[in-house]
Amino acid sequence: MQQKETLIKIPFTHERANPPFEGDDIRYPEGLVRHFLKTYTKAGDKVFDPFAGLGTTLFVAEEMGRTPYGIEADRNRFEWVAGQLEHWQNLLHGDAAKIGTLGFPKMDFCMTSPPYMPKHHKWNPLFAGNPKHAGYDKYLKQMGRIFGLVADQMKKGGIVIVQADNLHHGHIYTPLVRDLSQVIEKSLTLQNEIIVEWLNPKPGYTHTHCLIFKK
């Protein structure tokens, strides 16, 4: 089923406590995942997050009777999520760029928020800051490669949702939503861009973007 709306309103409420080693700046709220799982999935579907973070997609999928799968590169986040997930064996510690070697089954649905990078930074989060891979262009190229692998992991007709924000640093603006859309479109078909207006938002964070792709 194709999403028709272009604006939705979701409460910005975190239902799970953060681990002591993290703030809440890397998490989208559970209500956002619930909205898209209700729209695009059914009980028993395989739900994937290649940048699992603090596990919001995986926890909500499990709560709703879907089967979660994911990858997380950060050891602390991986251990914290796996320690609370019923399907802990489906979360792997590793690099999303190695999806094809990890033995995952084909997925019905994917929802993720990848690491962000401002265009004026050199430190590339996809390579842990390795100076050989410094720069925004290499970040975008690797994002395109990773989502090409995500596309290979999806069943035909599978939906991939990417949550992202444009970045403002003083007078420097990074159109991250547009740039991610362009590199991901090389492997997946863009269906829609949804603006999510946060109800009771954090100061300075009133909305976000969800890009809807189809295999």
- Report how far apart, in Å, the C-alpha atoms of 39 and of each of 13, 65, 212 are: 20, 14, 12
Q: Give residue for tokens 């089923």.
A: 1
Output the DSSP codes for 23-78.
Answer: -STT---HHHHHHHHHHH--TT-EEEESS-TT-HHHHHHHHTTPEEEEEE--HHHH
Looking at residue 3, what is its pLDDT? 44
Looking at residue 154, what is its pLDDT? 98
1 pLDDT above the threshold of 90: no
Residues 91-120 have pLDDT tens digits of: 999 999 999 999 999 999 999 999 999 999
- Report how far apart, in Å, the C-alpha atoms of 214 and of each of 3, 34, 89, 140, 192 are: 11, 19, 27, 20, 10
Residues 14-58 have pLDDT tens digits of: 998 888 888 766 689 999 999 999 999 999 999 999 999 999 999
Q: Which of 43, 59, 33, 139 is nearest to 96 (CA)?
A: 139
Alpha-carbon distance of 210 to 193, in angstroms, equals: 6
Name the CATH code of domain 7-210 (choices 3.40.50.150, 3.20.20.70, 1.10.3720.10, 3.30.110.30).
3.40.50.150
Looking at residue 24, what is its pLDDT? 63
Instruction: State percent of the chain over pLDDT 90.
Output: 90
pTM: 0.95
5 pLDDT above the threshold of 80: no
Looking at residue 68, what is its pLDDT? 98
175 pLDDT above the threshold of 80: yes
Alpha-carbon distance of 78 to 15, in angstroms, equals: 19
